[in-house]
């Protein structure tokens, strides 16, 4: 049957050709192989091996460009499109076929579905009609490919991909294959499955899992006025002759903001530990 041949490497007998394709046959099924993939054209009756699948035009095809993804074989693929009544389409490297991850395997909330250019680690699976579907990697698979994080990652920025959504938080894998966890308190909104994130390490567990935050550091969240004061300090050898006792006119003449804005911004900087003030001056902390 067709479904016993798809999603794996097979060897078929060459039976015909045209301008574009070589045709081969196995168990009564005929497969096409693009001539442009072949360094040397095979003779009639010879054997031709390749990865077997059904392309987007429902033609059986053999390709010499074997994808990293297969039956029981998992790798990263890129989401190329979303179809609400079906699922998401993932590019795994086949010439004319994207693999669907069914909506049955995706989050119930549609806003948490992967979007275009998101990343999913998938394998292949066959249904009883012989159709290939994407199979999301399991938690145990991510555990198996991960490595223990080092303690010196504290406060470092990491790139990671969301692979599991849980009520207790979001599970991710970093580009260095460390497992990470984002508690709901450490995000502004829930990331979607497959989303590529920039996160900050706020802790390393004894098991080597990273605790991550999507919230900005204090000095990154201080606002435009505070950023302006920081920039002024950096361009003034690290000190300015201003404080919360400076007059509104002095502040407005130099910074172009009100004294109220200045005091709020200075307060944020002091709280973040970015500056200190002494003897009527502001100093930039190292």
Assess whether the region 2-63 and the region 75-137 belong to the same CATH fold.
yes
**Per-domain boundaries in the chain:** 2-63, 75-137, 146-213, 219-284
Report, as an integer, the average pLDDT of 130-153. Answer: 94
Q: What is the pLDDT of residues 2-26, one digit of tens each?
A: 678 999 999 999 999 999 999 999 9
Higher-scoring residue by pLDDT: 266, 222 = 266
Q: What is the pLDDT of residues 31-69, one digit of tens each?
A: 999 999 999 999 999 999 999 999 999 999 999 999 999
Looking at residue 130, what is its pLDDT? 84
Higher-scoring residue by pLDDT: 113, 275 = 113
- Fold of domain 75-137: OB fold (Dihydrolipoamide Acetyltransferase, E2P) (2.40.50)
Q: What is the pLDDT of residues 229-260, one digit of tens each?
A: 888 888 888 899 998 889 999 999 888 889 99
Give the separation between CA 200 and CA 210, rounded to whole angstroms. Answer: 9
| DSSP letter assigned to residue 226 | H
- Fold of domain 219-284: Arc Repressor Mutant, subunit A (1.10.10)
Looking at residue 221, what is its pLDDT? 58
| DSSP letter assigned to residue 76 | E
Q: List the structure tokens of 162.
A: 């969301």
Does the model's pTM come out above 0.85?
A: no
* Long-range contacts at 206-210 (CB < 8 A, ≥ 24 apart): 207/148, 208/147, 208/148, 208/149, 208/178, 208/179, 209/149, 209/178, 209/179, 209/180, 209/181, 210/149, 210/153, 210/158, 210/174, 210/178, 210/179, 210/180, 210/181
CA 64 from chain centre, in angstroms, equals: 28
From 23, 38, 28, select the one nearest 5 (Cα to Cα): 28
Level-2 CATH architecture, domain 2-63: Beta Barrel (2.40)
**Given a cut of 70, is residue 126 above it in pLDDT?**
yes
Q: What is the DSSP string of 163-219?
A: EEEETTEEEEEETT--EEEE-GGG-SSPPPTT-EEEEEEEEE-TTSPEEEE-SPPGG
Q: How does residue 142 score in pLDDT terms, banded at 50, 70 and 90?
A: very high
Question: Is the domain 146-213 a CATH 1.20.120.1200 member?
Answer: no
Q: List the structure tokens of 33.
A: 């192989």
Looking at residue 124, what is its pLDDT? 96
**Given a cut of 60, is residue 1 above it in pLDDT?**
no
Give the separation between CA 96 and CA 81, rounded to whole angstroms. Answer: 14
């Amino acid at each position: 049957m067709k479904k016993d041949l798809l999603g794996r490497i097979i060897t078929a007998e060459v039976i015909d050709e045209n301008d574009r394709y070589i045709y081969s046959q196995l168990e009564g099924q005929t497969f096409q192989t693009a001539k442009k993939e072949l360094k040397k054209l095979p003779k009639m009756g010879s054997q031709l091996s390749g990865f077997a699948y059904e392309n987007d035009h429902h033609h059986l095809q053999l390709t010499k460009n074997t994808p990293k993804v297969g039956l029981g074989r998992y790798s990263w693929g890129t989401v190329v499109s979303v179809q609400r009544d079906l699922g998401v389409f993932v590019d795994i490297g086949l010439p004319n076929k994207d693999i669907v991850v069914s909506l049955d395997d995706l989050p119930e909330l549609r806003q948490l579905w992967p979007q275009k250019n998101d990343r999913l680690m998938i394998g292949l699976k066959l249904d009883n009609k012989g159709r290939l579907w994407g199979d999301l990697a399991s938690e145990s698979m991510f555990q198996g490919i991960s490595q223990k994080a080092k303690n010196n990652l504290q406060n470092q920025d990491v790139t990671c991909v969301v692979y599991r959504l849980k009520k207790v938080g979001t599970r991710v894998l970093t580009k260095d294959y460390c497992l990470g966890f984002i508690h709901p308190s450490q995000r502004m909104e829930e990331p979607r499955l497959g989303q590529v994130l920039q996160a900050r390490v706020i802790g390393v567990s004894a098991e080597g899992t990273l605790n991550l935050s999507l919230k900005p550091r204090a000095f990154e969240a201080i606002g435009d006025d505070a950023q302006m004061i920081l920039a002024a300090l950096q361009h003034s050898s690290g000190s300015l002759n201003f404080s919360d006792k400076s007059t509104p006119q002095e502040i407005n003449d130099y910074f172009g903001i009100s004294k109220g804005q200045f005091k709020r911004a200075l307060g944020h900087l002091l709280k973040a530990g970015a500056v200190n003030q002494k003897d009527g001056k502001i100093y930039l902390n190292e």
